[in-house]
Structure 1
Amino acid sequence: MTTTAIELSVEDGVATLRLNRPEVRNAIDDATRGAMIDALEAAAGDPAVRALVVTGAGSAFCAGGDVRGMKQRLSAPPEDVAINGWRRQARTHRAVSLLHLFPKPTIAAVNGAAAGLGCDVALACDFIMAGEAAHFTMSFIARGLIPDGGGMYFLPRRVGLARAKELVFSGRRVAAQEAVAIGLADRVVPDADLPAAAHGWARELSAGSPAALALAKSVLDRSLEMGFEAVLAEGSKAQAICYTTAEHRASVAAFLERSAKR
């Protein structure tokens, strides 16, 4: 699947969603929001896809929201600015929610800048792998805005509340090595190795039962908002489903067969 704004390809069970506006450092405009929603829905529903890598074309991961679009929006009649923004936020939140709730492992392969909404998109993934030249910035403050793509939910869960406040209030740039040191990113690799390394990690993470992975992810993503007993209860329901899967049955049969031969 390829649109003007998004490229989606699948190789060896790993889908790669590439933001494809390199001339504006993959800034996200309204068309990109819609194309991202379509691509994520397609990849989530494709049984051939076992994991997802999100990256950017050219020299940047994503420079954030399209500032030219912001200027056009502000030229609307004053009484329309707020409701238009509310509608646009709904589309942004739909895209980020699809990424966060994607029922398979997700990796942001951050090449170059992940700024503003681009940083939020990276944070919505399960894991972040950064190239050596990558950098992150919650740059919303420089536009008189607040993080609106889930960053105020995801960032404190990665780096802690005080650190998240510091990064949001200052809007400062965080280089790849510091990002790993503070928990903002998970791994750093040479820039030239980033695509292959992210693809390989995605294959490794998605080698297990697709049902078990999806169910474990669904519980883990909610576990910080639940008490101990609620996590156990959700885990029990998920495990009951796992008991019925072909992967579980095959694994038990294979184990017993190996044991019988010893």
Structure 2
Amino acid sequence: MNMAVRVPDFISVSQTNGIATITLNRPDVRNAINDQMRAELVAAFEQAGADKDVRGVILTGAGKGFCSGGDVGGMRARLDAPAGEVAFNGWKRQQSTHRGVAAIHGLTKPVIAAVNGAAFGLGLDMALACDFIVAAEGAKMSMSFIKRGLVSDGGGMYFLPRRVGLSRAKELILTGRVVETEEALRIGMVDRVVPGEALAETAQSWAEELCAGAPAAVALTKSILDKTFESTDDQIFALGREAQAICYTTAEHRRSVEDFLNKTSK
């Protein structure tokens, strides 16, 4: 069953079978991110996180592109500010950007980026912040910040090396070159590539598969795996012990044990 949940100005949200689809909705500018969209994106992910009926999220774009990055018009306005305010205004905007990326990456439910078209700059950073990326054939990706005299500010310098390795991440970030889907799949920048007409269905069915487990176990597993590269083995083991103790108390664990024993006793 499809049910419209919320239709704000620059973000639209729908829900199907426990999966919320959050759509960047400025197709006239290839879903470029402005301040209002940042705020709405955070609100949409916070709502998905709080809603017990939502088990997973798909992030995608309206129209022909996923996200072209930061709104260049906003960049122009930023530069027109008095010289003494540019740095502090930029610092505040960066806080907003990082809240959006943290909302995506920190969601305790699986998040799939369904990249339906170009994902450049901040758009690619946002896709990389998701747990999984499925791309439509022909979608193009670029860490294009360097072409604007900027650094990757949406988490790409953190997420991209974890997907493709440090040396290749440096090359992609320092050149800002465009990566086609065939190469993106080969180097691990994306996880799956499908025909454009199959993108939504593929993302939906994959999300349902990923979210079929007990919510507590899924959330705890994801939170620990996200710390793996920054932690020692002892730290991960300790987090695993704590998480398992919580899982022991859940209704899902109790029910699964009882179901298993009842089936084997017949």
TM-score (norm 1): 0.99
Q: Which residue of 2 aligns with 1:185?
A: 190
Q: Which residue of 2 aligns with 1:8?
A: 13
Partner SS state of residue 233, structure 1: helix
Unaligned residue ranges in structure 1 (runs of 5+): none
Q: Which residue of 2 aligns with 1:217?
A: 222
Q: Which residue of 1 aligns with 2:70?
A: 65
Q: Does 1:93 align with 2:123?
A: no
Offset from partner CA, 1:175-199 (integer Å, 9 cap, x none): 1111010000000010000011101
Q: How do 1:1-262 residues align onto structure 2 when only pairs under 5 Å count?
A: 1-261=6-266
Q: Which residue of 1 aligns with 2:3?
A: none
Matched letter for residue 44 of structure 2: A
Paired with 1:229 and 1:43, the residues of 2 have a C-alpha distance of 32
- How far did residue 77 of structure 1 move? 0.1
Aligned length: 261
After TM superposition, which residue ranges in structure 1, 4 or more long, deviate above 3 angstroms? Answer: none
Offset from partner CA, 1:167-219 (integer Å, 9 cap, x none): 00000011111101000000001000001110110000000000000000000
TM-score (norm 2): 0.97
Superposition RMSD on alpha carbons, in Å?
0.5
Partner SS state of residue 162, structure 2: helix
- How far did residue 86 of structure 1 move? 0.3
Paired with 2:78 and 2:230, the residues of 1 have a C-alpha distance of 36
Partner SS state of residue 60, structure 1: coil
Matched letter for residue 105 of structure 1: P
Partner SS state of residue 7, structure 1: strand
Paired with 1:178 and 1:251, the residues of 2 have a C-alpha distance of 42
- How far did residue 129 of structure 1 move? 0.2
